[in-house]
A and B are shown apart, each in its own frame.
Chain A
């Protein structure tokens, strides 16, 4: 696809590369700093005395005889059994993404293929729904959930996350569906498919880029959520983020910040694999979609 005409002048290409490098440093530096610091003791990582301690590990050396220690990881994974939260997060993320996308593609498709006025008002209503601050929503659920005896369990949290995320999913998928020519499914219907078959066999295959991008955001929402999970999950069902928050302590009690730091680093590792895996899908899927469109 790179034609001769598209060849960049050297200056522009240098500028573009330089920009990317600066952005990558900005984006990744805090994380790399955390990764490095997660092998130190707290007094080094949050070095109140001299910031270079975070690099050299002065207090870590005094304590453990080497500038690196896996104490944070040991504490988080073995002592505090962080893996339970990891499993819970995996369950919550998997079901939230699957259900969100199923409901969202059905609804988004319908919205993009119907020309009636109510479609506009539904989209606006979804937008207004999204404007509601989540903390108010969640504290409003509490009493009902306790009454129905469904508080504290994973399915409740999953359904709430799906519902809260529906407006966003709908809007995003709606705009992706609009890009797909109507002739595609309409000709399938003319050929004798039902609306659902047209959706299932004609639209879904060309929808992957949109679905994957939307799925990525649904995933990140479920993965990073604090407001919902912290109030709706019982202690034994905690996902990673509230578990990490619990490592940090409260006014009257001591936390263990290094457990939290180690947990954050280890929580990011599976994501690395996931994004590396899905970026191929995104890139190839998107290009394929472009050719067809």
Chain B
């Protein structure tokens, strides 16, 4: 299915920028592994416009399970992996991606400085799009209760109480609180917003069992009172479905989902007209918004020949050249590419970046803490244990995992 679609997209793009397409000549094979969402499909198709060498893509939701194994061999199966700031860490830890400084100097004149991901002074990836969670709400409902879009989570609670009180909606808050990755991500947001630090300075020792951690959990618990009682089973798909059905008026949602949120068949006019986007909220009087910034970008494998690395770099630089932006591709993502003008759906992500939000940490052991939080916080959300106990459990689970991975003694 992917090939035809990619080909079609490639032809469409090629006709738009025929001259640029001609410019892409490579001399070795390129094989890209990455997630499958539309923006990445577009990048993959862009790379496939190149001629002179075979360009293959494998874009799948399970990319993270195969990219490491696919880059560890010598020569590696994949010459490039498309990753985000959370997942580049894994490739860095295992040392399977190469520094790009010489290639940027040679072929990267069109790349903007802020697209280059520099780690320890070396360029390790080239980012092409940004993402963040931010507020999505129903302006018609907020008008009814006479309130503005909430700027803090405390305001969100007040608005939710009013909506429920006036009988407009029973469970007006939506949230991707599904036990596991989603729940941990919401905690990360809230903990950052409350001013917490995940680790003791300069060490891999977790320190989340503190006042900020408890405050973050308590806020999540208060929010969940206004959510569908099954909130621990709701991922972002289920949360969006609630919003489309008109059951939810306020939610913290991924910017990448905003553009198509009300596009689905059967969404009522009321929901379509009422949809509005705002920046991320703060919590507990903090000034850092309770959200994280994300980028998606491409890397080049280490265990391949220099010719293949160069071909990969050229093809992917070609795929994210400014001319690839058009009416269709502009709505697919918040591009970091020169010449991108934000669409209305992108305002939330831009607001997040401008209001001092912090990026999701690129620490070697952040993923382990994320997994531990996802597994251990659900007991607290169900009221089965105290916030302190849940955080202590998460710390203990993380410590066991970090010891195993060699991050802690």
Contact = CB atoms under 8 A, between A and B. Distances in A.
A252 B258 CA distance: 10
Contacts of A149: 77
B245 interface: yes
B161 to A, nearest CB: 22
Interface in B34-83: 35-38, 57-62, 65-66, 69-70, 72-73, 76-77
B73 A235 contact: no
A40 to B, nearest CB: 8
Interface stretch (A76-84, A114-122, A185-193, A264-272): A76-84
A31 to B, nearest CB: 22
Interface string A151-179: 11000000000000000000000000000
Interface in A101-152: 139, 142-143, 146-147, 149, 151-152
Interface stretch (B137-145, B259-267, B368-376): B259-267
Interface string A191-231: 00000000000000000000000000000000000000011
A6 interface: no
B235 interface: yes
Interface stretch (A17-25, A59-67, A278-286): A59-67
Contacts of B109: none
B181 A146 contact: no
A142 B72 CA distance: 10
Given A252-B131, A254-B257, A81 B4 contact: yes
A70 interface: no
A146 B237 contact: no
Contacts of A85: 1
Considering residues B37, B38, B61, B256, which has the most beta carbons from chain A within 10 angstroms of its beta carbon? B61
Nearest to B36: A246
A143 B72 contact: yes
Considering residues B72, B182, B240, B245, which has the most beta carbons from chain A within 10 angstroms of its beta carbon? B245
Considering residues A85, A151, A235, which has the most beta carbons from chain B within 10 angstroms of its beta carbon? A235
B62 A230 contact: yes
Interface stretch (A7-15, A44-52, A89-97): A44-52
Contact of A43 (B36, B131, B237, B265): B265
Interface string B20-41: 0000000000000001111000
A142 B78 CA distance: 13
B245 A49 contact: yes
A240 to B, nearest CB: 11
Nearest to A249: B237
Given A41-B265, A62-B266, A251 B70 contact: no
Contacts of B182: 251
Contacts of B246: 49
A234 interface: yes
Sorting the interface of chain B by its residue count into under 10, 10 to 19, 20 to 34 or 35 or more gives 35 or more
Contacts of B198: none
B134 interface: no
B60 A235 contact: yes
Contacts of A246: 36, 60-61
A251 B66 contact: no
B108 to A, nearest CB: 27
A43 B59 contact: no
B181 A253 contact: no
B247 interface: yes
Contact of B176 (A60, A230, A251): A251
A254 B245 contact: no
B266 A251 contact: no
B66 A254 contact: no
Contacts of B244: 43, 48
Contact of A253 (B1, B37, B66, B245): B37
A44 to B, nearest CB: 6
Contact of B58 (A47, A60, A62, A235): A235
Contacts of A258: 265
A150 to B, nearest CB: 10
A83 to B, nearest CB: 9
B3 A245 contact: no
Interface string B263-293: 0111110000000000000000000000000
A20 B133 CA distance: 51
Contacts of B351: none
A42 B37 contact: no
B376 to A, nearest CB: 20
Given A48-B242, A151-B77, A250-B37, A42 B2 contact: no
Considering residues A84, A234, A254, which has the most beta carbons from chain B within 10 angstroms of its beta carbon? A254
A257 B241 CA distance: 11
B380 interface: no
Nearest to A64: B265
Interface string A236-261: 10100001011011111111011000
24 contacts: A48-B241, A48-B242, A49-B246, A49-B247, A59-B268, A63-B265, A71-B265, A142-B69, A143-B73, A146-B76, A147-B73, A151-B66, A151-B70, A230-B62, A243-B1, A245-B61, A251-B182, A251-B235, A251-B254, A252-B257, A253-B256, A254-B264, A255-B237, A257-B237
Interface of B: 1-5, 35-38, 57-62, 65-66, 69-70, 72-73, 76-77, 131, 176, 181-182, 235-237, 240-242, 244-247, 254, 256-257, 260, 264-268
Closest 5 pairs between A and B when the two form their complex, measured CB to CB: A48-B245, A59-B266, A253-B37, A142-B69, A43-B266
